[in-house]
Amino acid sequence: MAKIVILTGAGISAESGIRTFRASDGLWEEHRIEDVATPEGFMHDPALVHRFYNARRAAATAAAPNPAHTALAELEADPGHEVLIVTQNVDDLHERGGSQNVLHMHGSLFGALCHSCEHRWPAPEVMSPSDTCPSCGAQATRPDIVWFGEMPYRMEEIWHALRAADLFVSIGTSGNVYPAAGFVADAMHAGVPTLELNLEPSAGRSMFDEARQGPASVLVPEWVR
């Protein structure tokens, strides 16, 4: 059975109407990374950070999976393949598209985390700085999101899967944020073939064995079927 590790980024959800980060109309055009995507930004102005993630949670809830998400679910359902989706995305469109083996390395909009006792629970639609942790009662709740300077989730598991893979595929990511941007090099060093599917060449394009350019809703179903 072929083991396929698939890294996805904001580009796979773009055609579902979810904004990417680094495009000219991307989220980082309107928001300073330091303000909304670092622990320091959260300590400085938790209300601002909650507003940013509340708006993105609402946008993700209103969005629907596109043909790229559903094609990956079809691939996973094929008994000839063992598929692991490692997503940098904090939306739930892979799951709603039918994928089951999904690892959210940068966390989820739909999770809340207590930074006092590290308890996790489903996030309410709207979070605010006055929310209290259902476990310890502290007024120390934050979205369960991996910010800059924090360790992405389940890295050992990801590296292990990468080394054991028969194919590594990267979809809809600019290759600017580590450690995900380093997965192509990790795969290459392990002798795993690599493929990129992206609207434009990523920062790591030259390391991929093959790269195809175009919208994910076209490229991914074409590759899967």
Per CB under 6 A, 13 contacts ligand BJW:
no
- Residue 33 Cβ vs ligand BJW, minimum distance, rounded to whole Å: 7
- What does the longest C-alpha to C-alpha distance in the chain come to? 51
Only one of the segments 4-12, 74-82, 120-128, 158-166 lies at the binding site for ligand BJW (rule: CB under 6 A); that segment is 4-12
Per CB under 6 A, 41 contacts ligand BJW:
no
Q: Which two tokens stand for residue 210?
A: 């093959």
Distance between CA atoms of 28 and 177, rounded to whole angstroms?
A: 13
Strands 107-114 vs 102-104: parallel, antiparallel or unpaired:
unpaired
- Residue 98 Cβ vs ligand BJW, minimum distance, rounded to whole Å: 19
Which one among 20, 54, 108, 170 touches ligand BJW, defined by CB under 6 A?
A: 20
Q: Can 119 be counted among the known catalytic residues?
A: no
Which one among 3, 26, 31, 103 touches ligand BJW, defined by CB under 6 A?
A: 26
Which one among 173, 184, 187, 211 touches ligand BJW, defined by CB under 6 A?
A: 173
> Where do runs of H (alpha helix) occur along 17-106?
27-30, 33-36, 39-44, 46-62, 67-77, 93-96
Chain centre distance of CA 95:
12
User: Which residue is catalytic, options 106, 115, 119, 160?
Assistant: 106
Helix (H, G, I), strand (E, B) or coil at 130: coil
